[in-house]
Amino acid sequence: MDATAVDGNWMPYRWWQLPDPLSGRWMAYAEMLHEFSSELANIINDLTTNVHRLRAWDRTVSPLSIDEKLAATHEFIDILGTVALGQPYAIKSRFAYAAAHLCHQANRAKVAGAWKDEFPQKETLYLNEIEPFCRGWKTYRSFKRRVEPIAGKRFKETSDDFRNAYNHRFSSRLVLGMTSITSRFKNEDGAIGYAFGGKPALALADIADLLLTERDLCYAAFEGFQALIGEQTTAISNFQAAEQSPENSNRAR
């Protein structure tokens, strides 16, 4: 790792602008924005680093004996690879969760006194569920198009559906080992059959290449997220300025 430079970009922190002082009505939005944007930057930056780590380990284990490869895989690579292969799914879900909550809070600037807190009390949110809360923002459509390809069909197939298999079945091994020696299937006529063979281990270079594509998709999605937040913070700033204008103050008196 010391001998090779990290390829890629670093997602920034504290890049948005909100009014200072900020009205108390926007406290939830401000705190969510700080947490969500920081955590998104953290996990995408982790993915960038993990691609670099996987490439370094690929070069490191290539000349080793089988016993040495097993030791390195057991001590280091299994944990690294398992986490890294799950990150695109986590990033996609976190983008949806963050956008949904922030759009919902920022909608106060659009509907003012008509805003109601009718957001669903759910721990998991998907892009197709959050449309009613986000569609009022012009930049949301572009953001959604950038998030949708993350952890898509190609990633799922090329990684042998590692994330789901790891959690629900038996996933492919990393570096060494065979899995799915016996698999059960159903023919078109409904007859049940069994296949014997097995899947070889995933190669670290292939995993790194696959995650490099996902990493770049995450970069693009983060830019879309920044544009969405920029539209919202501008609306919040304008709303608060209008609220505090002399004309509105005189009306209040």
Q: Determine phi and psi for 185, rounding to 5 degrees.
A: -145, 165
| CA-wise closest residue to 233 among 10, 15, 40 | 15
Q: What is the pLDDT of residue 114?
A: 80
Tokens of 187: 């023919």
> Among all chains, which residue has been given the structure tokens 């994330």?
163
Phi-psi region at 194: left, alpha or beta (left = phi > 0; alpha = psi -120 to 50): beta
Q: What is the pLDDT of residue 176?
A: 84
Tell me if 235 sits within 8 A of 110, measured CB to CB: yes
Q: How far apart are CA 230 and CA 211, in angstroms?
A: 28
Q: What is the pLDDT of residue 248?
A: 62
Q: What is the pLDDT of residue 185?
A: 82
Counting Cβ atoms within 10 Å, is residue 128 exposed (0-12), middle (13-18) or buried (19+)? Answer: exposed
Q: What is the pLDDT of residue 67?
A: 94
> Rounded to an integer, what is the distance from CA 240 to the centroid of its chain?
32
Burial 88-115 (b: 16+ CB within 10 A, else e): bbbbbbbbbbbbbbbbbbbbbbeeeeee
Half-sphere exposure of residue 87: CA atoms within 13 angstroms, side-chain side: 31
Q: Helix or strand or coil: residue 173?
A: coil
pLDDT along the chain (253 residues), means of 10: 86 94 92 97 97 95 94 94 96 96 93 78 86 92 97 92 86 84 84 84 93 97 98 93 68 47
Which 8-state DSSP code applies to residue 6?
A: P
Tell me if 95 sits within 8 A of 147, measured CB to CB: yes
Q: What is the pLDDT of residue 252?
A: 46
Beta-ladder partners of 85: none
Q: How far apart are CA 234 and CA 18, in angstroms?
A: 8
Q: What is the pLDDT of residue 171?
A: 85
> Among all chains, which residue has been given the structure tokens 């490439």?
55
Q: What is the pLDDT of residue 247?
A: 63
Domain extents for the chain?
Answer: 24-171+203-252
Q: Determine phi and psi for 36, rounding to 5 degrees.
A: -65, -45
